């Protein structure tokens, strides 16, 4: 497989690189981040107020995963430079968009695959398993995504527990995996799932829960103690 030169950029410190970049990962906050590739600039769940996203130019693709406010913010979407943007979202999100945004919309539901801007997008399942949490994310409503860019497969979990569909993923080069209670899953379950599908690299994200932030150091220890070939990378997701 072709390897990316990966440049990790913290939005707060504006760290950059003077060398040519094939991929930049720019964490914004919680579920929101930016992927810059040679093919496209991708905004993932741009739900953070302010001009943070516009500081990085116009998006080619906007990925939306679910209807909750930490993933879908209509006012933020309206503030973006959308003239040439494609917005990918499940039907539940599409139903909440105003007409002014729907002209940019491509609806993808679980299992759909589309090629856009030289990138393959696959909409994957995301949902809760625990009985006490099933009301947060019902099966079939929201999307995770697998992006294929130059033979590299990038998984974005969205809000989910350690569902069989995640554990059965294949050939994932890079994964962004959520872990926060009571809304998604525990650190232990996230680690178990990652150990099952064995991405080459995993970024814990979306880890602020009802009682504070999840223990990301514990997540790394659980993963690397059992599989040292999986690289766990920590980025600055919160101020």
Query: Given pLDDT bands bounded at 50, 70 and 90, which one contains residue 39?
Result: confident
pLDDT of residue 133: 83
pLDDT tens-digit readout, 101-128? 999 999 999 999 999 989 999 999 999 9
Query: Given pLDDT bands bounded at 50, 70 and 90, which one contains residue 19?
Result: very low
pLDDT of residue 1: 40
- State mean pLDDT over 132-159: 94
Q: Is the pLDDT of residue 176 over 60?
A: yes
Query: Given pLDDT bands bounded at 50, 70 and 90, which one contains residue 50?
Result: confident
Query: Which among 211, 155, 205 has a CA at the least distance from the CA of 182?
Result: 211
pLDDT of residue 4: 40
- The strand ranges marked E within 58-178 are 61-63, 86-89, 105-107, 113-116, 119-124, 144-149, 152-156, 174-177
Query: Given pLDDT bands bounded at 50, 70 and 90, which one contains residue 220?
Result: very high
* Per-domain boundaries in the chain: 6-14+21-232
pLDDT of residue 7: 43
Mean pLDDT of the chain, nearest integer: 90
Taking CB atoms within 8 Å and a gap of at least 24, the contacts of 209-212 are 209/180, 209/181, 209/182, 209/183, 210/180, 210/181, 210/182, 210/183, 211/181
pLDDT tens-digit readout, 65-96? 999 989 999 999 999 999 999 999 999 999 99
Query: Given pLDDT bands bounded at 50, 70 and 90, which one contains residue 2?
Result: very low
Q: Is the pLDDT of residue 34 over 50?
A: yes
pLDDT of residue 208: 94
How is domain 6-14+21-232 classified at the architecture level of CATH? 4-Layer Sandwich (3.60)
pLDDT of residue 17: 35
The pTM of the whole model exceeds 0.75: yes
């Amino acid at each position: 497989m072709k390897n990316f030169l990966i440049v990790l950029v913290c939005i707060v410190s504006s760290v950059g690189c003077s060398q040519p970049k094939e991929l930049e990962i720019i964490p914004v906050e919680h579920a929101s981040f930016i992927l810059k590739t040679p093919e496209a600039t991708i905004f993932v769940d741009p739900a953070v107020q302010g001009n943070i996203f516009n500081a990085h130019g116009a998006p080619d693709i906007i990925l939306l995963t679910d209807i909750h406010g930490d993933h879908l913010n209509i006012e933020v979407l309206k503030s973006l430079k959308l003239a040439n943007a494609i917005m990918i979202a499940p039907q539940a999100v599409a139903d909440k968009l105003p007409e002014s945004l729907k002209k940019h919309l491509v609806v993808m539901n679980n299992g759909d695959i589309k090629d856009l801007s030289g990138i393959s997008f696959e909409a994957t399942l995301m949902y809760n398993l625990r009985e006490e949490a099933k009301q947060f994310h019902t099966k079939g409503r929201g999307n995770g995504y697998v992006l294929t860019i130059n033979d590299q497969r990038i998984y974005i979990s969205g809000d989910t527990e350690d569902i069989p569909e995640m554990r059965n993923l294949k050939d994932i080069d890079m994964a962004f995996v959520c872990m926060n209670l009571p809304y998604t899953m525990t650190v232990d379950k996230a680690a178990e799932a990652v150990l099952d599908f064995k991405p080459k690299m995993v970024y814990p994200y979306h880890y602020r829960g009802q009682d504070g932030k999840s223990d990301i150091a514990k997540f790394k220890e659980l993963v690397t103690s059992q599989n040292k070939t999986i690289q766990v990378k920590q980025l600055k997701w919160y101020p």
